[in-house]
């Protein structure tokens, strides 16, 4: 009698990712996977918070200081 071996969910996921990688390459696979990651938090609020102290003058100075 033949026994059918069913793949686990993890094995199916790994096989699928490998097929995609072979088909569209590593960069394509990463871009494909990013479509399903919704992330977390509020990007706009976070960006405004970490940029609150930036001014045109402070950014210009930082650029000039980096050009040693």
Whole-prediction pTM value? 0.48
pLDDT over 70 for what percent of the chain?
97
CB 7 within 8 A of CB 15: yes
| CA–CA dist 14, 1 (Å, integer) | 29
What's the longest Cα–Cα distance across the chain? 78
For residue 52, is pLDDT > 90? yes
Separation in Å, CA 54 to CA 42, 51, 61, 65, 68 = 20, 5, 11, 15, 21
Residue 8 is predicted with a pLDDT of 95
pLDDT digits (tens, 9 = 90+) for 4-28: 889 999 999 999 999 999 999 999 9
């Amino acid at each position: 009698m033949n026994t059918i071996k069913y793949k686990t969910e993890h094995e199916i996921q790994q096989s699928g990712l490998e097929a995609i990688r072979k088909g569209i390459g590593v960069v394509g696979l990463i871009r494909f996977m990013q479509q399903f990651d919704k992330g977390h938090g509020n990007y706009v609020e976070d960006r405004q918070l970490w940029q609150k102290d930036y001014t045109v003058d402070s950014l210009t100075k930082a650029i000039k200081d980096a050009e040693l």
